[in-house]
Structures are given as C-alpha cells and as structure tokens.
Amino acid sequence: LLFPDISIILNGEIKDKTSLEYALSKAPDVDGGMIARAAAQQPWIFAKLKGMLEDKSFDMQSIALKFIDDLEECQPKEFWPTRLQRFFTWYCLNFSFGNYFKTQMLNAKDNNEARIRIKEYFDKCPDDRFKIL
C-alpha cells in the first residue's frame, strides 16, 4: 500500500451479508466497513452480519420506543428532533404503510407525541409489529 498507516474503510450501500461480501470481494485489503442508513432501517444488522441471528422475531414497536428512550438518555436535548427524523426516515421503510408512518413521526412535535404515534400506528397495523428475520 502507498500509505500503510492510513486505514481504508468501505462506505456505501452495505445493507446485508450479500452486499458486504460483494464490497469486500472488490476491495479485499480494506480495514473495515461503514454502515449508516441500513443500521437505522435494520438496527439488528450488526448481529445479523456476524451470523448471530437465525430466524429471530423482533418487536418493531419496542425497538422504536427504545430508540427514543436511548436518545433521551444519550444525546443532548437539542439533538433529539434531528436524530428522530434521521432514524424514522429509514426505520419506517420496514412497514406496510411506511410513508404514512414516517410522515406521522416527522410531524410529531416532541418525543412524547412520537411515542403516542408509534403506539397508534401499531394499533392500526398490528401485522407490522413483529418481524421475523
């Protein structure tokens, strides 16, 4: 390598094991890979890529509510609105009425209203609540 002390990280469209393997086949000497949007859409992606998940069921409502709890615990209050918007823009792609759900979340005036909207969505769309991988 020309610069051996500089780490090279893959970035872009790593969203599952197939895309990771493809990227690594094209750049086998990289030091790692970066996952962004796929982590917001599929918070379980890291365990899945490590091969730790086999046919596991996820409670999608609990994941959404836990994200808000973690946000409040780990981020300054001024970051909450933008972090919620970023997460739910991608997370809502998992659902039958994802655009509707995303709109509801992006228009929530605060975290408590977001929690209410999450519960309302899954009350209206109970088939979306549990996802089996």
Q: What is the pLDDT of residues 30-60, one digit of tens each?
A: 888 888 888 899 988 888 887 766 667 889 9
Query: HSE (CB half, 13 Å, CA atoms) of 125?
Result: 17
Q: Are 9 and 32 in contact (CB under 8 A)?
A: yes
> pTM of the full predicted structure?
0.82
Pair of tokens at residue 115: 């929690």
Instruction: Tell me the pLDDT of the chain averaged across its residues.
Output: 90
Terminal C-alpha separation, the chain? 39
